[in-house]
Each structure stands twice: as structure tokens, then as C-alpha cells.
Amino acid sequence: MATCKEIHRLVSEGLDRDLSVIERTKMRLHLLICDACTNFSGQMQLIRKAMHKMAQLDEPDATPDPESDRARGPERR
Ligand SMILES: [Zn+2]
């Protein structure tokens, strides 16, 4: 069974890259039984969404495409 620490790492990494099927399954299974990590995951996704929104306001021309955003990386100024 994955530890909370491992799941926190997977949640964080999952925002920046695609997790493997194994990693995603591990994370989902853990989230089913762990409230702390479910909350953590939700908060990370909220922060990510807020940052994405801010980036869009900052750059009106930017396409809201998470795939291309991932390819370019967060630093593109
Ligand atoms: Zn946990």
C-alpha cells in the first residue's frame, strides 16, 4: 500500500505530467481510503486551476489547453 507521502508526491507530479496507469491506480485506491490525501488532492487541483486562470488573464492569447501548457512548462516568459 502506498504511503501518504508517496501519494502527495504523485498528486503533485500528476499536475505537471501524466502519471502512469500504475501510479494513477495507486493514487485512486489510496484516495478512496484516505481523507487527508483526498483533501490534499482537491486543494492542489484548486490551486492549479486558480493559477491557470491567472495565467489566462495575464496572457489573453494563450489557449486554455492543458496539454500544450504542460509541454511548454510553467516558465515561459
Ligand atoms: Zn493518505
From first to last of its 77 residues, the chain has per-residue pLDDT tens of: 789 999 999 999 998 899 999 999 999 999 999 999 999 999 999 999 998 898 888 776 666 666 655 566 666 66
| Ligand 1 center–CA 35 separation, angstroms | 7
| Ligand 1 center–CA 56 separation, angstroms | 32
What's the pTM value of the predicted model, to 2 decimals?
A: 0.65
Closest CA to 40 of 72, 70, 15: 15
Q: Would 45 be classed as within a structural domain?
A: yes
| Ligand 1 center–CA 68 separation, angstroms | 30
What is the span of the domain harbouring residue 37? 4-60
How many separate domains does the chain show? 1
| Ligand 1 center–CA 7 separation, angstroms | 6
- C-beta contacts of 63-70 below 8 A and 24+ residues apart: 70/16, 70/17
Q: Would 77 be classed as within a structural domain?
A: no
Q: Would 69 be classed as within a structural domain?
A: no
Q: Would 76 be classed as within a structural domain?
A: no
Q: Would 41 be classed as within a structural domain?
A: yes
